[in-house]
Each structure stands twice: as structure tokens, then as C-alpha cells.
């Protein structure tokens, strides 16, 4: 299929109208108001109108929350409502059909706005692609046009190719093309041209439908030739597998996570690829390995989507550990109840701030962004500190531990994320956050310590003081002024710390509460005394693990994104 993006006939690029009555919509700087629903005596018609009104109220409520909080739950719900609204596409009542078009457009606009300033390492690329393609085939040109208007430009280049190729290879495409070419050739050309332009396809790009699309696939081949039909009992096999897995845990990762989690008495074994290879030996091996990793009730890192309801899924229970980058693995086609249930057992939430990319001039990851996104190097660096960059996950009711590293606090986006997590986690009756660990860094170019947004710490103490057992703050690259400023901010919460006997450790590579604050600054005597009595003897206890963590993180950010896209076509 060749599409000429430079067609001089502007009518091809003008959005055809769906033919609504002129009084249906009021256009004021692209803001539309919905004409009030007229009720009918006809039972069928009335039921549809009532159902549509209920959907409209639900959409309005969700969008209000979503625009404020970047909630993944709002996105999933709005997406589901879009598909419910498609059932109104063939109604005879013009008012109902037009209202449904308006509401679908509103859903599509939210979907596009939600993904502005977000990058593929934080959203479901497969679910994103599916929704874009479904809107491409939406019967309304207005809904399609809203997608074009809201289409994000910060896309991963392989994802752009994937969207384009998947669209033209969709089983609906040929029939859709044939019918629309016969009924409305102008709209067909408009859709093809505008969609192509939005995906930044040029005349010289591979738009030929006869050329096979390129897919990245992973093939696992087993060549097993054996006439031995004997088999171990499950009990013996489980002992062998248990021993093997414990011996083959990634030593480097285990060391890193043990050092991080030794403060909350929780190690995080990171099973390597050997666990999957072992599980694929036979059905018996799969069953025994699955039973083992689910029975030990341990932490594991999940880098891809898995469906615990699927009989062929190795993991049968919800994860206890949630690395924030795994949020991209929560599929959009899963309903909100599945997403909530999926995170319902999480005990430890671990997040590494990307803020360092906002200031540094060069890194492997920035080079990767520059080479794999559309002119997004500088835009990415700005997006990191923008409001829409982070996704707010569903509530984690069993959350006990929060760990945040590499925090600079340039803006409030990470603080807002932690506030959302803290306030959505219940406290009391066996629930509540028990441990909070943060490694934050003062930027050399930043003179104001107030730039370190610590509102989340106050909200944490307000909501979870009764369950909190320990707080650890490691402050890198700071001076006496920054430590003093931080102590002043903690001073108002001293009574709360004492009342609930919360262990509070403040460490720094440059200063020690015990050594450098033997003579406390005026007005800070009480807080310094409390911290000194709660302080670890090792002033660099958290600093020991930072180099290892940073190395692993840099590797995972670069390689993890490539590995993620390898399975995009599965």
C-alpha cells in the first residue's frame, strides 16, 4: 500500500464529518458540549438512552480523577467504556448515535493525553497498539480524527513500525478498505494519509503492503533423543530442582538485593533464565518447578506480563515484590479488577528515579533514547520531571516496604506518585507501611535544599505512624546546610517519631549525625539527640551498595527495553 503524504489535494487531509445535525455539538476552541439526552416512551430506545447517560457520568467521573492523578485504573476503565460505547454505532436514533460518538471521542482524547510525556518503559506497548488499531477502524471519522489529534509523538521507533505493520496486516483491513473505498473514497484517503503522517511515515519508508513485515521472534528449540522412559518421583525431582535453583541464583543480583533488603529482613532471590529452561524440560518438570516457586512464597522480579489464571503460567500467585518498571507489564486488555487483584499481595515496592537523566549530558540510556525515539533526547530529559511522566498504579493493600533510590526531587512528580501509593495503602487492622528507605542526592547545580520535595515523607508519617517501624534516609552530595535544612523539616514530627518508637536513620557520605553533629545546631538539639540514639554506627551503610545498584540499573534499563520489545509480537 503506497500512501502519498504530500498529496496536494487538501480535501484528502480534511476530516470528513459524520453528518450530525448542526445543533448537536457546539465547537468552542475544540471544546464540545453534549446536547442533553431526550427521553422516549419507546422502552428499547429509553433503555439505551439511560445506559448511555450512565456511561457518560462514569466517564466524566473517571476523567476528572485521571487528569489529576495519572491513574492506571482510570485508563483501564475509560478504555473499557470505549468498547461498550461501540454497541451504539448502529442505532437508528441520531441523538443516541451522536452522543455515543462524542463520548467515544472523549475516551480517545483521554487515551492520547494520558500517554503524552510517557515512554514505552512505563506503559503497555501491546495494549497501546491494540487500542490505536481499533480506533483506526472506528466507524466514526470524528472519533478517528480525535485519535490523530491526540496521537503522541514520543513513540519508540520499533513500536511505530509495529503499529503500522499490524494495522495493515489486521484481518479487518482488506474488507474495511474495500467497503470504504466504494462508499466514501474521500474519507478512506483522509484516514490513510493522516494515519501515515501521524506515524511519521515518509514516501520512502517501507509502506508497501506486499513487503512482508519484520517481526522479532524468539525461537526455543529442543533436540532431545532418548529412549529412556524412566522418571523420577515428584519428591526426588523437587529436591533436585530446589538444590539447583538455590545454587544458580544470580549471585550479583542476590548480593545487591540482600544488601538493600537486609534492613527489612527480606532477601530477594533473582532466578535466572535457568528456571524457565528447567521448567520446559517436560510437563513433570513444569509442574514441580511451578509448585516450588509458588510454595516458597518468596520475592521474584517480573519483567514481562504473566497471567496467573492461565494453566500454562509458571507462576500461580500474585507477586510479593513490585519493581516500578514492571508497571509496563500490566496489560491494558486486563480489566481493572484483574489489575487490582494482581497487585493485592505486593509487600515491597521498589522504584529507581529517572531524574538523573534530566541533568546529565550523556549516558548509554540517553544514547539509546536518541537512537530509538523520534527526536526525543531533549524532550525525554524534560519529560522525566513533567507531571505526566509517571503512571500511578492501583492500590497495594498489603504493602509493607517502600524503597526509592536516586531521588533528586526536581519537581513533585515522584512525590505525587509516593503520595498516591501511601494514601491508597490502608493502615491498621494488620495493614500499613512498616519500612521506608530513600537514597536522595543533591544536584551540584541546585543551591536550594527546598528543591528536594519531601511532602511524601510527611504524608507517610500522617497516614502510617502507627505501623511504621523504621525510616532510612541516605543523603548524598550534601553539605552542612542541606543536612540542617532537612533536620528542620523533620523537627515538627519528632513527637510522632517518639510516640510510636519509629527507628529513624539519617546517613550521608559527607556527614554523620554522631560525629559532625555532636554539638547540635540551635533549636535542633532534640531531633539530633533522637537521631543519634537511633543511628547506625556505619555512616556509609547505604553508600556501599550504590555503585552495584547503579551498574545493574543502567544495564537493565538498556537491555530490559530491548528484551521487552522482543516479545512484542508474541
CB 423 within 8 A of CB 459: yes
For residue 190, being part of any structural domain is answered with yes
For residue 217, being part of any structural domain is answered with no
* pLDDT of amino acid 20: 41
pLDDT at 335 over 70: yes
Q: How many domains does the chain have?
A: 3
What are the backbone dihedrals phi and psi of residue 31, each rounded to the nearest 5 degrees, phi first? Answer: -100, 125
Percentage, residues of the chain above pLDDT 90? 27
Query: What would the mean pLDDT of 181-195 be, rounded to a whole number?
Result: 91
Segments forming the whole domain that contains residue 259 = 234-300
State the Cα–Cα distance between residues 116 and 74, nearest whole angstrom.
15
Write out the H or E segment, with its range, that includes residue 162. helix 157-168
369 in the same domain as 475: yes
CB 409 within 8 A of CB 440: yes
Q: Please, how many CA atoms are within 13 Å of residue 88, restricted to the half-sphere of its CB?
A: 28
For residue 454, being part of any structural domain is answered with yes
141 in the same domain as 77: yes
Q: Which of 198, 223, 245 is the last residue of a domain?
A: 198
453 in the same domain as 375: yes
Q: Which of 170, 198, 226 is the last residue of a domain?
A: 198
Residues 6 or more apart whose Cβ sits within 8 Å of residue 297: 320
294 in the same domain as 335: no
Classified as helix, coil or strand, 398 is: coil
For residue 447, being part of any structural domain is answered with yes
* pLDDT of amino acid 252: 41
Question: DSSP letter string over 350-412?
Answer: EEE--THHHH-S--HHHHHHHHHBSS-HHHHHHHTTSTTSS-BPPP-TT--EEEEEEE--SSS
365 in the same domain as 295: no
389 in the same domain as 498: yes
Print burial letters for 292-312: b (CB count within 10 Å at least 16), e (below 16): bbeeeeebebeeebbeeeeee
Q: Which of 171, 198, 225 is the last residue of a domain?
A: 198
554 in the same domain as 449: yes
Query: What would the mean pLDDT of 519-526 be, rounded to a whole number?
Result: 77
pLDDT at 561 over 60: no
pLDDT at 23 over 80: no
412 in the same domain as 296: no
Question: What is the chain's mean pLDDT, rounded?
Answer: 73
C-alpha grid cell, residue 410: 526536581
For residues 201 and 384, which has the higher predicted lDDT (pLDDT)? 384
- Distance from chain centroid for Cα 92: 40
Strands 401-407 and 435-441: parallel
464-473 per-position pLDDT tens digit = 999 999 998 8
400 in the same domain as 291: no
For residue 310, being part of any structural domain is answered with no
Q: What angle do CA 272, 275, 281 make, to 5 degrees?
A: 145
**pLDDT confidence bin for 119, thresholds 50/70/90:** confident
Query: What is the Cα Rg of the chain in Å?
Result: 27
518 in the same domain as 481: yes
Q: DSSP letter at 8? A: S
429-470 per-position pLDDT tens digit = 989 999 999 988 888 765 544 555 788 999 999 999 999 999
For residue 223, being part of any structural domain is answered with no
326 in the same domain as 269: no
For residue 425, being part of any structural domain is answered with yes
In order of 349, 504, 552, 553, the CA distances from 547 in angstroms are 21, 24, 9, 10
For residue 366, being part of any structural domain is answered with yes
467 in the same domain as 354: yes
Amino acid at each position: 500500500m503506497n500512501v502519498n503524504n504530500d498529496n496536494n489535494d487538501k480535501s484528502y487531509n480534511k476530516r470528513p464529518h459524520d453528518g450530525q445535525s448542526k445543533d448537536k455539538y457546539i465547537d468552542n476552541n475544540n471544546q464540545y458540549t453534549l446536547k442533553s439526552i431526550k427521553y422516549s416512551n419507546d422502552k428499547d430506545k429509553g433503555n439505551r438512552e439511560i445506559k448511555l447517560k450512565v456511561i457518560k457520568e462514569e466517564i466524566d467521573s473517571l476523567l476528572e480523577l485521571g487528569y489529576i492523578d495519572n491513574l492506571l485504573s482510570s485508563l483501564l476503565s475509560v478504555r473499557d467504556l470505549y468498547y461498550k460505547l461501540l454497541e451504539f454505532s448502529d442505532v437508528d436514533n441520531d441523538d443516541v448515535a451522536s452522543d455515543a460518538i462524542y463520548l467515544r471521542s472523549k475516551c480517545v482524547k483521554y487515551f492520547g493525553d494520558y500517554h503524552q510525556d510517557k515512554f514505552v518503559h512505563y506503559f503497555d506497548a501491546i495494549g497501546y497498539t491494540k487500542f490505536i488499531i481499533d480506533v483506526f477502524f472506528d466507524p466514526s471519522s470524528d472519533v478517528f480524527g480525535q485519535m490523530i489529534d491526540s496521537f503522541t509523538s514520543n513513540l519508540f521507533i520499533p513500536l511505530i513500525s509495529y503499529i503500522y505493520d499490524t494495522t495493515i496486516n489486521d484481518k479487518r483491513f482488506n474488507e474495511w478498505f474495500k467497503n470504504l473505498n466504494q462508499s466514501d473514497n474521500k474519507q478512506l484517503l483522509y484516514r490513510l494519509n493522516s494515519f501515515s503522517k501521524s506515524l511519521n511515515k515518509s514516501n520512502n519508508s517501507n509502506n508497501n503492503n506486499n513487503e512482508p513485515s519484520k517481526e522479532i521472534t524468539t525461537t526455543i528449540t529442543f533436540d532431545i533423543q532418548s529412549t529412556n522412559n524412566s522418571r523420577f518421583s515428584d519428591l526426588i525431582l523437587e529436591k533436585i530442582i530446589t538444590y539447583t535453583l538455590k545454587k544458580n541464583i544470580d549471585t550479583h543480583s542476590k548480593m545487591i538485593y540482600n544488601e538493600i533488603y537486609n534492613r527489612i529482613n527480606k532477601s530477594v532471590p533473582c532466578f535466572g533464565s535457568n528456571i524457565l529452561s528447567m521448567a520446559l524440560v517436560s510437563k513433570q518438570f513444569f509442574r514441580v518447578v511451578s509448585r516450588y516457586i509458588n510454595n516458597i512464597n518468596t520475592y521474584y522480579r517480573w519483567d514481562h506480563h504473566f497471567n496467573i489464571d492461565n494453566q500454562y503460567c509458571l507462576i500461580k500467585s500474585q507477586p510479593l515484590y513490585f519493581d516500578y518498571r514492571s508497571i509496563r507489564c500490566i496489560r491494558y486488555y486486563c480489566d481493572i479488577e484483574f489489575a487490582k487483584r494482581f497487585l493485592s499481595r505486593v509487600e515491597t515496592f521498589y522504584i529507581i528515579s529517572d531524574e538523573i537523566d534530566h541533568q546529565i549530558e550523556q549516558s548509554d540510556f540517553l544514547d539509546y533514547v536518541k537512537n530509538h525515539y523520534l527526536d526525543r533526547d531533549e524532550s525525554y530529559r524534560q519529560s522525566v520531571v513533567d507531571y505526566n511522566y509517571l503512571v500511578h498504579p492501583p492500590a497495594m493493600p498489603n504493602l509493607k516496604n517502600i524503597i526509592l533510590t536516586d531521588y533528586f526531587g526536581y519537581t513533585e512528580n515522584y512525590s505525587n506518585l509516593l503520595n498516591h501509593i501511601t494514601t491508597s495503602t490502608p493502615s491498621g487492622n494488620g495493614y500499613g507501611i512498616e519500612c521506608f528507605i530513600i537514597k536522595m542526592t543533591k544536584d551540584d547545580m541546585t543551591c536550594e535544599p527546598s528543591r528536594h520535595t519531601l511532602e511524601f515523607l510527611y504524608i507517610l508519617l500522617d497516614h502510617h505512624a502507627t505501623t511504621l517501624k523504621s525510616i532510612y534516609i541516605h543523603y548524598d552530595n550534601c553539605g552542612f546546610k542541606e543536612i540542617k535544612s532537612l533536620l528542620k523539616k523533620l523537627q515538627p514530627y519528632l513527637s510522632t517519631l517518639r510516640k510510636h518508637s519509629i527507628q529513624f536513620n539519617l546517613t550521608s557520605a559527607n556527614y554523620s549525625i554522631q560525629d559532625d553533629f555532636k554539638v547540635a545546631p540551635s533549636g535542633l538539639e532534640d531531633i539530633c539527640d533522637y537521631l543519634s540514639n537511633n543511628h547506625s554506627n556505619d555512616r556509609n551503610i547505604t553508600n556501599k551498595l550504590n555503585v552495584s545498584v547503579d551498574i545493574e540499573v543502567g544495564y537493565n534499563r538498556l537491555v530490559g527495553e530491548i528484551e521487552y520489545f522482543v516479545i512484542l509480537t508474541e
